[in-house]
Amino acid sequence: MSKSASPTSKSVGTTDAHPQERTARELLTQGRPLFLGVDGEGAAHYWDSYEFAVAVVATDGDAEKVALADTPFETLAQWCEYTKDERGWDIGPHVGGSLVDDLVRGLDA
């Protein structure tokens, strides 16, 4: 049996991102969107500052890109608050206490 046919061998470079992150990358312009968190329904939220949009990726792979310009929200902080009210957050949101917090404050100005 050749090494490539071995059931324990792995191809070089096949360490894939989490499936939800892969889907978000396909939806958004930014190559590495910022992980915001996971809402109460299990959907992962990713922020793209280039598009000013959030990718919301459900656990079943269904996904949508939401441009903030198409919502009543003007800031990422408002989106996160809306998500908290509608679905809750199981993880996150990771938008405070760091460079991200500075970014959100700058966008609010």
pLDDT digits 0-9 by tens, 41-82: 999 999 999 999 999 999 998 999 999 999 999 999 999 999
- Across the beta sheet with 89-91, the strand order is 63-67, 53-57, 44-48, 34-39, 89-91
Cα distances from 78 to residues 29, 43, 85, in angstroms, run 22, 18, 11
- Lowest-confidence region among 9-23, 28-42, 78-92: 9-23
**What confidence category does residue 23 fall into, taking pLDDT thresholds of 50, 70 and 90?**
confident
Q: Give dist(CA 105, CA 75) in Å, integer.
A: 9
What's the pTM?
A: 0.69
Beta-strand runs (E) in the chain = 34-39, 44-48, 53-57, 63-67, 89-91
- Chain mean position to CA 26: 11
Q: Give dist(CA 99, CA 28) in Å, integer.
A: 21
**pLDDT score of 102 more than 70:** no
**pLDDT score of 16 more than 70:** no
**What confidence category does residue 100 fall into, taking pLDDT thresholds of 50, 70 and 90?**
low
